[in-house]
Amino acid sequence: MIQPLAYIHPQAKIADNVVIEPFVTIHKDVVIGEGTWIGPNVTIMDGARIGKNCRIFPGAVISGIPQDLKFAGEETTVEIGDNTTIRECVTINRGTKDRWKTVVGKNCLIQAYCHIAHDCEVGDNCIFSNSTTLAGHITIGDYVVLAGLVAIHQFVKIGSHAFVTGGSLVRKDVPPYVKAAREPLSYVGINSVGLRRRGFSSEQINEIQDIYRTLFVKNHNIATALDIIEAEKQPTEIRDEILDFIRNSNRGIMKGFSNG
């Protein structure tokens, strides 16, 4: 169902059963999957690739050109996965020649007034609370929860299943499975509640806890802690994911545990 007060470029590719409410503007190079709902006053610009059964609420702007002075008009995209909800006044900018696309995965909830800048890659099943802001070139894993008013520096990486508390300034990489809080951002434990909700066993949660005790609580430097973990912990998918994330961190990881 397409309202007559919406403007849709005749070359936009709109699937069956898409609902487009009044005062929507959809540009030429746009693809929208079946079953998606586009609320009033949404603007979808060239380069948008929106999946099936998404919901986009009033005032959102999808695939605006990057707020990047290096952008030279190259043809880039925004890709939004199936079943993702984008709430009021969210802005998601398309990529630059660095990655050529900005990606938001499947089953995500991007709450009101969030901003996702150019060349970000967001995994599946993520929740970003109101007014969270991602600068350019950020990589975020699956099942990440960012509470309200989180601001993330460009090129930062956040590992899967991490939780970042509200109002945090994220300047360094956040490893998988942890909770991050305080200023400067620090390790405050593992995301045990989220892990249990997602079916992690007690054994897996204990393994994660032991790894991060060595890494963040026992006053080792990072290099020493990694060597100890590799020597003392049996290889598992979880152990190797954590070690690989930290060793491949370009910005360095956030601070360890502190009682201050």
Is 119 labeled as catalytic in the residue annotation? yes
Name the active-site residue from 46, 51, 68, 119. Answer: 119
Q: What angle do CA 43, 46, 47 make, to 5 degrees?
A: 115
Structure confidence by residue, pLDDT tens digits, 51-94: 999 999 999 999 999 999 999 999 999 999 999 999 999 999 99
DSSP secondary structure code for residue 200 in this structure? -
Name the active-site residue from 27, 115, 118, 137. Answer: 118
210 contacts: CB under 8 Å, gap ≥ 6: 233
DSSP β-ladder status, 121-122 and 37-38? unpaired
Rounded distance between C-alpha atoms, residue 11 and residue 255, angstroms: 50
Picking from 114, 208, 123, the residue whose alpha carbon sits closest to that of residue 160 is 123
Q: Is the pLDDT of residue 260 over 70?
A: no
pTM: 0.96
Which pLDDT score is estimated for 10? Answer: 96
Question: Quick check: 50 and 62 in contact, CB under 8 A?
Answer: yes
Is 167 labeled as catalytic in the residue annotation? no
Is 153 labeled as catalytic in the residue annotation? no
Rounded distance between C-alpha atoms, residue 237 and residue 235, angstroms: 7
Residue matched to tokens 């032991």 = 210
Structure confidence by residue, pLDDT tens digits, 103-156: 999 999 999 999 999 999 999 999 999 999 999 999 999 999 999 999 999 999
Instruction: Give the dihedral of Cα atoms 250, 248, 133, 78; nearest 10 deg.
Output: 110
Picking from 175, 171, 150, the residue whose alpha carbon sits closest to that of residue 160 is 175
Question: Quick check: 112 and 90 in contact, CB under 8 A?
Answer: yes
Name the active-site residue from 136, 141, 142, 161. Answer: 136
